[in-house]
Amino acid sequence: MSVALGTTRPLPVRTTPVGDPGDLLASLPRTAPYAWVKNGEGLVGWGEAARVAVPPGPGRFGWAREWLATVLGDAHVDDAVRTPGSGPVAFGSFTFDEDAHGSVLVVPQAVLARRDGHAWLTTIGDAPLETYSPMSPIHGPGRISYGDGSLSALQWEHVVARAARRIRDGRLEKVVLARDLLATAERPIDVRLLLTRLARRYPECYTFSVAGLVGATPELLIRRTGQEIESLVLAGTTPRGTGPADDLARGAALFASPKDRHEHECAIASVRQTLAPLCSSLETPDEPELLVLPNVQHLASHVSGRLADGASVLDVVAAMHPTAAVGGTPTGTAIEVIRELEGMDRAGYAGPVGWIDAHGDGEWGIALRSGLVQGRRARLFAGGGIMGDSDPAAELAEAQAKFRVMQYALEG
């Protein structure tokens, strides 16, 4: 059900240029903050002008696009900025599995943004423009204790071994398996503290918060600016080294690894096959590059193109999700194996997360390195691509390294 401030009249929307707001995350209130920030730029929001639980099913992205068009189509918009992300904006999170409940779109009552040298504030309703610093003190969560999620570490290693056997038997080329870890804090977890720590530690990632799903993902699923689109494909991972020499050696081994290179090639082929029918032009690199983050290194490829028609960013998200990087190859078979072996509901983990404006522009990432936060508890997620020669212990170590992102956010 959607909510529109208890009124049936069109939403009054006003976007006004503002001075440099400084740290965007410092403007967020404690309750239900929304965020999409990278290198200090992006959008943050608070309040709810409209919200909807998106019904599950294969048509969910089309349903969400139509709902958004209905809510924003008749809005009275006074936009003095007129750039992607100005005017009314919806933040969204979609579950990994199309049949799972939990997908949501929210139009915040206020959005503060800084992009490409411009800063602006959008408000919906009668909120005064000058009151966009609703900051209240941030308190730490205290001591954090951890417990097994859906599977223990040993059980998950057995799942990885079973999946590798399926691949060697020829059923599929690759499957991405995830696991969860439960964290319990002494005091309620303030999402703003997690966002601040993640943004400072991982500035090259997209730090996000939507409806309790919080994280910092390195993977840009799609950015639409007019007819231009961009994507960053990550597949193939190794932990950082113990020092500069070990770091370089690990990066070189990752780049030379037949297993990881094949995993990356599967991911690029999946994106190319998906985007080509939507684009009048599409460019994918011949070789990946190394993306070095504080905790891991990835094989990464930048993809760019131009849409052939007026598809919105949600239309492109619908075509791309799930990618081979988070599902597997072939995707349909991989999803069946995930449902059979993984033993948990991923919720929004590895699903699309991001924002869309009234013109169909937006940025959506894949919700990796993330957790679902509620009160004193957080459910953390991590995973990795499984190939026929995958070693269960090595895959467990990779997942543990990825957990460290959210563990750092909780513990500092």
Catalytic residues: 174, 219
Q: In degrees, to the nearest 5, what angle opens at C-alpha 121 toward C-alphas 43 and 22?
A: 65
Furthest C-alpha separation in the chain = 63
Q: Which helix (DSSP H) or strand (DSSP E) does residue 178 occupy?
A: strand 174-185
Q: Are strands 228-239 and 220-225 parallel, antiparallel or unpaired?
A: antiparallel
What letter represents residue 96's amino acid?
F
Residues belonging to the chain: 412
Helix (H) or strand (E) holding 355: strand 352-357
Count helices and strands in the chain by DSSP H and E runs = 8, 23
CA gap 375, 189 in Å, rounded? 6
Tokens of 200: 């400072």
SS3 268: helix
Joined together, the tokens standing for residue 63 give 């349903």
